[in-house]
Amino acid sequence: MGSGVVEIFKDARCLPIVSEEFSLPDNYTDGTNASGANEPMSPVMPLITAVYSVVFVVGFVGNCLVMYVVIRYTKMKTATNIYIFNLALADALLTSTMPLQSAWNLLDSWPFGETLCKLCVSVDYYNMFASVLTLTAMSVDRYVAVCHPVRALEFRTPLCATAANVAVWVLSSAAGIPALLLGGTETANGTTTCALRFPDPYEFWDAAVNVCVFVLGLVLPLLVMAGCYARLVQRLRARVLCPARGGGAGRGLRRVTRLVLALVCVFVACWTPIHVFALARALGSVPDSPPVAAAYYACVALGYANSCLNPLLYAVLDQNFRRRFRRLCRPAGPRSHWPSVSRGRSSLRDSALQAEDTDGPATTTKSLGLHWKCGRQGRVHR
């Protein structure tokens, strides 16, 4: 998820002056004292910059590696992995702006001009909605795969997943394009800020936008995902009584479901605090104080950290991604001209794991040929 709420809810120094009616707080100093000398840098800023640097390195490299694996290997082009590719693309776009965010925090002023400011604000909103809509699509995909396995054969294809990803970016444009148009820089007392520039009255549009972001970018998608997983858990509990459905493909189905559920849980844990903080500040119920500012920056850093946690989840919870990552990171040794027993065993093991990691219905030869029907006591009838 992106940082659109972050751009709007920087501390007081990041709110642009857009009208004569808007005034800064009485204790606002804009980073300078009466004589014009710069105030000492807050000790929080170097720490935030260090966190941003880690997010950039781990998140950008990790998400690019995920996209390369999906493109490089044919067996990775499943419906779920197509959604993961879209999520990695959104996260990679967000992490690419981390160096700019770090420089902004250290310099206490935006030094990159109007064009980059507009692009960064737009990327924030694109990432925000593309991420949450992709996770919603993945949750619906899991619901169809588990609760409607026959219908899933028709709808859960890489082509349909690609079409859903295109629809996600089209819908995200409803927020990304206005952010591109409204984003810009404002300079006051020698300090340049980058944020959305709302018309008068500023406070009204500021609060209205953030209420819409909170509802459309968090609450409604979470309601859809919660409904999907509630129904999905009921169906999985019912299938425990049917051992015939729990073969290799069944284990793969549950494994992919756990991966998607983990992505959703991490997303909620990382981005709910900053959404709540942003909404509360827009409605005027958050006081300005150093502890509150420190809590705000902690929420921002937690939200950004989500973009570098996702690749780690893929490596830990998905065997296919883990094997591909190891293959890419392992240096290529000299090839033997003679076939070996270990190579044959490795191929058989990869084939078996691939069958277990399938994210679709159980349609393997074993399940169709041996497991026809599960009786009430769990007996297999042939």
| Per-residue pLDDT at 328 | 75
Helix (H) or strand (E) holding 58: none
**Sign of dihedral through CA atoms 118, 119, 124, 125?**
positive
Cα 343 from chain centroid (whole Å): 37
In the block, which residue shows the tokens 């250290």? 106
| Per-residue pLDDT at 236 | 72
Q: Write the DSSP symbol of residue 12.
A: G
Is 183 contained in some domain? yes
- Low pLDDT (below 70) residues in the chain: 1-42, 238-253, 331-382
Is 164 contained in some domain? yes
**Sign of dihedral through CA atoms 208, 211, 215, 216?**
positive
Structural domains counted in the chain: 1
Is 218 contained in some domain? yes
- Give the span between the Cα atoms of 100 and 59, in whole angstroms: 15
Q: What CATH code is carried by the domain that includes residue 309?
A: 1.20.1070.10
What ranges make up the beta strands (E) of 28-76? none
Between the alpha carbon of residue 257 and those of residues 70, 143, 220, 318, 359, the distances in Å are 18, 9, 21, 10, 8
| Per-residue pLDDT at 339 | 47
| Per-residue pLDDT at 61 | 92
| Per-residue pLDDT at 197 | 86
Is 282 contained in some domain? yes
Among residues 91, 82, 86, 83, the alpha carbon closest in space to that of 62 is found at: 91
Neighbours of 342 (CB within 10 A): 8
- Give the span between the Cα atoms of 142 and 83, in whole angstroms: 11
3-class DSSP assignment, residue 98: helix
Is 381 contained in some domain? no
Helix (H), strand (E) counts: the chain: 15, 4
In the block, which residue shows the tokens 């983990």? 262
Write the DSSP assignment of 115-179 as a string of letters.
HHHHHHHHHHHHHHHHHHHHHHHHHHHHHHHHH-HHHHHHH-SHHHHHHHHHHHHHHHHHHHHHH
Please give the residue range of the domain that contains residue 254. Answer: 4-17+41-327
Tokens of 193: 């800020």
Q: What is the bridge-based pairing of β-strands 373-374 and 183-188?
A: unpaired
Is 352 contained in some domain? no
Residues 198, 206 contacting (CB under 8 angstroms): yes
